[in-house]
Amino acid sequence: MNLESIITNPFSFVFWALALLISVTIHEFSHAFAADRLGDPTPRTEGRLTLNPLAHLDPIGTIALLLFRIGWGKPVPIDQFNFRNPRRDAAIVSLAGPLSNIVVAIILSILIRLPFFQIPLLIAFFYTLIIISIGLAIFNLLPIPPLDGSHIFLGLLSPRVAAEWEQALSQYGILILIFILFPFFGNQPLVNIIVLPIINFILGLLLPGASL
């Protein structure tokens, strides 16, 4: 089964919607779980330490996922002052979301090779879930607020340099995000040029012949 059969399949929309719910939920729950384990009760008190998809969907991020196959969930609130090492632990919490999507994609890519899972509809759904999981992970690793990559990037810098970058990113992050999401100067948005080669490379490893 290839991607063309998934897109043209009458179950395609249901697959994409369900896979989106699962991917975003796992992503945001992983943020909340990591923060909780590192000592910050904020996600738990805000009702985000749950696998209920309704707690994690962001309207704009969900629309972006449906339209562009890349997007984000509702940011998980954290209080860095509850961490033992605020900058390091905040970066770990940010990394937990994309990493969870990649782990899920790897597990599913193994399962679809097992004889027990050779059911066409199940394989089609797993393909869809893998594609959305990888797209969600790689897109969110971009170092642009409010994406996870911005927090990971700042966590790798020295405190002084991080403060300078954080100020600049907080001022222009949303504008940069809008600029790369919409095709202002061509047939495709700039984000496709940036992340699709990476996504397709990973998909090629997990699902030979697959691409976005």
Q: CA angle, 182 as apex, 202 and 178 as ends, to 5°? A: 95
Q: Which two tokens stand for residue 181?
A: 């999401």
Catalytic residue numbers, as ranges: 28
Contacts of 52 (CB under 8 A, 6+ apart): 25
CA neighbor of 31 nearest in space, from 106, 98, 112: 98
For the stretch 34-37, contacts whose Cβ atoms lie closer than 8 Å and that sit 24 or more positions apart, written own/partner, are 34/92, 34/93, 34/96, 35/76, 35/78, 35/89, 35/93
Q: Which two tokens stand for residue 197?
A: 């080669």
